[in-house]
Structure 1
Amino acid sequence: MTDYANDPAVKNLQEYLRIRTVHPNINYDECIAYLKRQATNLNLPATVYEVIPKKPILIMTWEGLEPNLPSILLNSHMDVVPVFEKSWTYPPFEARLVNDVIYARGVQDMKSVGIQYIEAIRRLKNNGIKLKRTVHLSFVPDEEIGGTEGLGAFVKTEHFKKLNVGFALDEGLTSPEDYFVAYNGERSIWHLKVICPGKSGHGSLLLPDNCGEKMRYIIDKFMDLRQESKKKLESNPELTIGDVTSVNLTMLNGGIQNNVIPEKLTASFDLRLALSVNFVEFENMIKQWCKEAGKDVTYEFEQKDEYVPPTLVDETNAFWVAFKAAIDQLNIPIKVRTFPGGTDSRYVRAQGVPALGVSPLRCARPALHEHDESLPAAVFVEGIAVYEAVVPAVANA
């Protein structure tokens, strides 16, 4: 029986999880100091960049034998989402090991993956392995609030260009089955607000130009679209949520008193556009709905991601071929899907760099952002061996 309580890799993960890089208003200093110590222990140079003040990005670099070749980027984010501490069985930043299961905020999303990178590199270096390509480990802030001031800002700098990244790995999702999932693309996020103005007056009247009638029309149109996506999923078991456009009404605002018809109502929608959607046609459809809803109905974007092509997963992509061969050699099944949410991979792909989102965590219950987020230590340790095989494969591709 494995003694995970005394496993150095598990202890290292626990130390990382105890650093409270939790939103909002994160101070990353302690985390950066910890990662600098990790780099020193690995005998790797570490550089910290602050494109945005107080949003540090740390890059560890393991130089390859042919450093002019495009490099490999192993990306992870340092930040974690907030917690409702009273709803946790164990304190979320204690990283307690109970019956060989680690309970902590961020243990799945995604501090475990960051430590798997580190521990895999440690094993490879200790075994005297040398790699053809340079490998960079990036630890970035603010992914959980969109990443625009984290990796999103960094990829636009000369610092990133100088890394000469040819292929990147980032987070995926924990798999409850015995297979891994590689995410080669993401739906595009559109956060949209529709504004329905109208004639204000006494709540007892049936005034014309009513904002409530306009709002009903808009909501009906978006909810009909939502039903279409649900039907697609229900009718085809091969599809997953990443293959369809998701539509959710997330906020309703307006009104000042129950007997006063408001002069304006607004509705906010979270849309995740499938890779198959024509973005121009989709926005034109929204414009038409607003026109049909009534006088002066408008919309505005709070976030509008551009279309980013998915990473090719065929023989034309040498990095995919190498990655897949390494996973096959471990006798681990793998499926390719479109990521249902948003990760930092989209910023890398937008620069023309192929990227896969893979968390090598399987046969475990997905629990990211949940109370009692947890991960069996055995699942974490298996993932180290996965990267021990994958990193040389892609770095020597």
Structure 2
Amino acid sequence: MEDLDQVVVENFPRYLRIPSVHSNISYDECVGFLKNQARGLGLPISIHYFFPKKPVVIITWKGKEPHLPSIMLNGHMDAVPVFENGWTCDPFGAEMDDKGNIYARGAQDMKCVSIQYLEAIRRIKKENVTLKRTIHVSFVPDEEIGGFKDIKPFVESEAFKKLNVGFVLNEGSASLNNVLPLYYGERIRGVMLIHCPGQPGHGSLLLEHTAGEKLIKILDKFYKFREQEKKKLEEDSRVTIGDVTTVNLAVIEGGVQNNIIPPEFTLTIDCRIAITVNLKEFEETFNEWCKEAGEGVWIEYQQKESQVPATKLDEFNSYWIAFKKTADHMDVQLKPQILMAMSDSLFANALHSPITAC
């Protein structure tokens, strides 16, 4: 076990030192690293490209009964950008402190999980155990910017169908105790550009129906709604952020100089909609707000996702039963909840197939 522990503390920093951060990523080093990992585990590796320079890497451990639906352990290779002046250490140094903590961009989200997948397989193989089902460990690019050019075309491809996936385990979040969040569904993402046209003119005038007046009215609607959702969180401790709908102003565009009333302001609203919300009614509400804000206010949807059913955690889901039984055996308490953000699990669940994704 000491030798295996040493492998972990060597492999994990190697992966972290690859600067696979946005906005201009080359995944070549990640692919090379994963090829070496597959070679060390004695497992086959396949690499798929659905868009140039966007590799989807699969390491496969064949089970004793490969005809059974397989298990996919998914992780993404990319990480969010780094602002180095906010770091007290090299964000790609993967330095370890005297307590054994390793610091680097992507350590939590989510290179640690991907390394855990591989090291768990290494330990099981060392015990000369072969699992009943085939395991596929997937490494995908660009999760942090939506996954539309990698995981989405991948799960819709023939290559994915051939893997015969029955269960997908994806990223979650850390816990400081033995109560672990289990994300079995995700909120619906929407990005709206709200156009507020109005009467332009000189800044010395008091014109009617200006873009700014309409902007204030529409923002007032959104922020009153936002306060209602915040109250739901404050008034019921059982409610998590994934159970409510969040709307947040992200960008305001418009204006040419400081003494001119512009012909239009455009608001970018980031919206994460709870899975209990009726999307049609919700959209109608937004349209009504636009009418009340003033003539000509309209919504352009930059991103508009469909409702995706959550994974059912019941007695009819054999994967859930096995997962829960193992957690109970390990004295780990699972806290099922809806993920507040968006992950690659969304695309697996969207297939409307027997696949279970968590």
Q: TM-score, normalised by structure 2?
A: 0.96
Aligned 1:253-332 pairs, distance under 5 A? 253-332=253-332
Q: CA deviation at 1:331?
A: 1.0
Aligned 1:194-205 pairs, distance under 5 A? 194-205=194-205
Q: CA deviation at 1:76?
A: 0.2
SS in 2 for 1:113: helix
**1:76 to 1:318, Cα distance in 2 relative to 1, 3 A:** same
Bigger relative contact order (CA 8 A; separation at least 6): 1
Counterpart in 1 of 2:72? 73
Counterpart amino acid of residue 86 in structure 1: N
Deviations 1:226-264 (A, max 9, x none): 001001100101111000001111111111122211100
SS in 2 for 1:136: strand
In the aligned structure 2, how far is the partner of 1:229 from the partner of 1:116?
37
**1:4 to 1:218, Cα distance in 2 relative to 1, 3 A:** farther
State whether residues 4 and 123 of structure 2, in contact with CA within 8 Å, keep that contact through their aligned partners in structure 1: no
Counterpart in 2 of 1:362? none
Aligned 1:1-397 pairs, distance under 5 A? 7-99=6-98, 100-352=100-352, 353-356=355-358
Q: CA deviation at 1:75?
A: 0.2
Seq. identity, %? 50
In the aligned structure 2, how far is the partner of 1:178 from the partner of 1:90?
30
State whether residues 36 and 46 of structure 1, in contact with CA within 8 Å, keep that contact through their aligned partners in structure 2: yes
- Unpaired segments ≥5 residues, structure 1: 357-397
Deviations 1:101-155 (A, max 9, x none): 1111111000000000000011111111122211100000000111111211211
In the aligned structure 2, how far is the partner of 1:271 from the partner of 1:304?
10
Counterpart amino acid of residue 169 in structure 1: L
Q: CA deviation at 1:269?
A: 0.6
SS in 2 for 1:21: coil
- Unpaired segments ≥5 residues, structure 2: none
In the aligned structure 1, how far is the partner of 2:224 from the partner of 2:5?
55
In the aligned structure 1, how far is the partner of 2:240 from the partner of 2:311?
18
State whether residues 5 and 97 of structure 1, in contact with CA within 8 Å, keep that contact through their aligned partners in structure 2: no
Counterpart amino acid of residue 15 in structure 1: R
Question: Cα RMSD over matched residues?
Answer: 1.5
SS in 1 for 2:68: coil
In the aligned structure 2, how far is the partner of 1:346 from the partner of 1:171?
12
Q: CA deviation at 1:194?
A: 0.2
Counterpart amino acid of residue 156 in structure 2: K
Q: TM-score, normalised by structure 1?
A: 0.87
Counterpart amino acid of residue 81 in structure 1: V
Counterpart in 2 of 1:368? none
**1:86 to 1:208, Cα distance in 2 relative to 1, 3 A:** closer
SS in 2 for 1:60: strand
Counterpart in 2 of 1:395? none
State whether residues 79 and 144 of structure 2, in contact with CA within 8 Å, keep that contact through their aligned partners in structure 1: yes
Q: CA deviation at 1:86?
A: 2.2
SS in 2 for 1:108: helix
SS in 2 for 1:109: helix
Counterpart in 2 of 1:390? none
Deviations 1:188-241 (A, max 9, x none): 110111001011111122222211111111101111110010011001011110
In the aligned structure 1, how far is the partner of 2:155 from the partner of 2:253?
36
Counterpart amino acid of residue 92 in structure 1: P
State whether residues 4 and 10 of structure 1, in contact with CA within 8 Å, keep that contact through their aligned partners in structure 2: no
State whether residues 62 and 133 of structure 2, in contact with CA within 8 Å, keep that contact through their aligned partners in structure 1: yes
SS in 1 for 2:107: coil
In the aligned structure 1, how far is the partner of 2:285 from the partner of 2:275?
17
In the aligned structure 1, how far is the partner of 2:172 from the partner of 2:27?
23
Counterpart amino acid of residue 212 in structure 2: G
Counterpart in 2 of 1:365? none
**1:196 to 1:7, Cα distance in 2 relative to 1, 3 A:** same
**1:167 to 1:6, Cα distance in 2 relative to 1, 3 A:** closer
SS in 1 for 2:109: coil
SS in 2 for 1:124: helix
Counterpart amino acid of residue 88 in structure 2: T
Deviations 1:32-61 (A, max 9, x none): 011011111111110000011100010011
In the aligned structure 2, how far is the partner of 1:340 from the partner of 1:186?
7
